[in-house]
Amino acid sequence: MTTSPDQIDPGVLLETAVNAGRAAGKLLLGFAQSGFRVHHKSPINLVTDADRAAEQLIIGHIRAQFPTHRFLAEEQGRVEQSPSPYLWIIDPLDGTTNFAHGYPAYCVSIGLEYRGHCILGVVFDPSRDELFTAIEGAGAQLNSRPIHVSSTATLGESLLVTGFAYDIRETPRNNLDHFAKFALKAQGLRRTGSAALDLCYVAVGRFDGFWEVRLNPWDMAAGSVIVREARGQLTDFSGTNLSIYGQELVASNGHIHQAMLTVLHEEPARSTPPG
């Protein structure tokens, strides 16, 4: 691989992201213990003081190291600082609904693009003290140990996961049709409420496949690098390589990928009229 003069040592970038992710995770646990205010972006889309404080902490930490870098973060949107080739893509709290209810399935997600391509991912689950990391070309790790996707060969033996977007009440693209189909074909189906953790769980082989219809770049940036580096497969519903700006995601161990795409394209089952 050739290195451009504007490229920074990936190890230094990773260390910065890990430190920011761990510090934000600690902050989230503190809020979980001490309490926080909950606000509504829409009837079922929540944001808490913890989301906002964690985001500020992460951006402040990274900016202190790399003052010229750009940011795309869930709560404050795109922060254009400069024409830097580096763009940090941050979800300070993925799993806000879980967090707000005291259900310990949430994480901090920090991805990094270099010239429009995701090269690094850090996802930290503070409740389990699980740190998922990946640098392009260097594999994926959980708490510094190499991880890879499962070897499950068929949908019928697979544990799958999905999620639902906050506009589920308004849109016909609510994913309930796909959910019903996969529920009858998989060994098991889960909805955890944290897309970034869902991706990491595919990477470590706890889930065999994950699909969702209306994700945002900050849900996918870090986790997609982690799945790719764990030898998983990532596409949209048509089978084209994943774009984190494209909303649709299918992530799998590779073996069941085509079977998942086939189910996603099946016509909805028609109920047979009685008699």
Residue 219 touching Ca ion (CB under 5 A): yes
Return the CA Rg of the chain: 19
Residue 208 touching Ca ion (CB under 5 A): no
Q: Exposure of 237 by Cβ count < 10 A (0-12 exposed, 13-18 middle, 19+ buried)?
A: middle
* CB of 95 closer than 8 Å to CB of 106: yes
By beta-carbon proximity to ligand IPD, the closer residue of 217 and 232 is 217
Segment interacting with Ca ion (CB under 5 A) among 12-20, 28-36, 88-96, 204-212 = 88-96
Residue 113 touching Ca ion (CB under 5 A): no
CB of 73 to ligand IPD, least distance (A): 11
Residue 91 touching Ca ion (CB under 5 A): yes
Residue pointed to by tokens 């902490």: 57
Q: How many CA atoms lie within 13 A of 158 on its CB side?
A: 31
Token digits for 90?
């941050």
CB of 96 to Ca ion, least distance (A): 5
Residue 94 touching Ca ion (CB under 5 A): yes
Q: How many CA atoms lie within 13 A of 273 on its CB side?
A: 0
Residue nearest to ligand IPD (CB): 163
Pairing of strands 233-235, 249-252: antiparallel
Residue nearest to Ca ion (CB): 94
* CB of 148 closer than 8 Å to CB of 170: no
Token digits for 151?
């070897």
By beta-carbon proximity to ligand IPD, the closer residue of 28 and 112 is 28
Q: Give the residue from 27, 12, 35 showing the smallest Cα distance to 92.
A: 27
- Contact positions toward ligand IPD, by CB under 6 A? 91, 94-96, 163-165, 193-195, 212, 215, 219
By beta-carbon proximity to ligand IPD, the closer residue of 135 and 264 is 264
CB of 238 to Ca ion, least distance (A): 23
Residue 212 touching Ca ion (CB under 5 A): no
Segment interacting with Ca ion (CB under 5 A) among 68-76, 114-122, 177-185, 235-243 = 68-76
Which residues are within 8 A (CB) of 16 and not within 5 positions of it... i.e. 6 or more apart?
61, 62, 65, 66
Max Cα distance, the chain (Å):
74
CB of 97 to ligand IPD, least distance (A): 6
8-state DSSP, 193 = S
By beta-carbon proximity to ligand IPD, the closer residue of 158 and 194 is 194
8-state DSSP, 85 = S
CB of 222 to ligand IPD, least distance (A): 12
CB of 172 to ligand IPD, least distance (A): 17
Interface with Ca ion (CB under 5 A): 74, 91, 93-94, 219
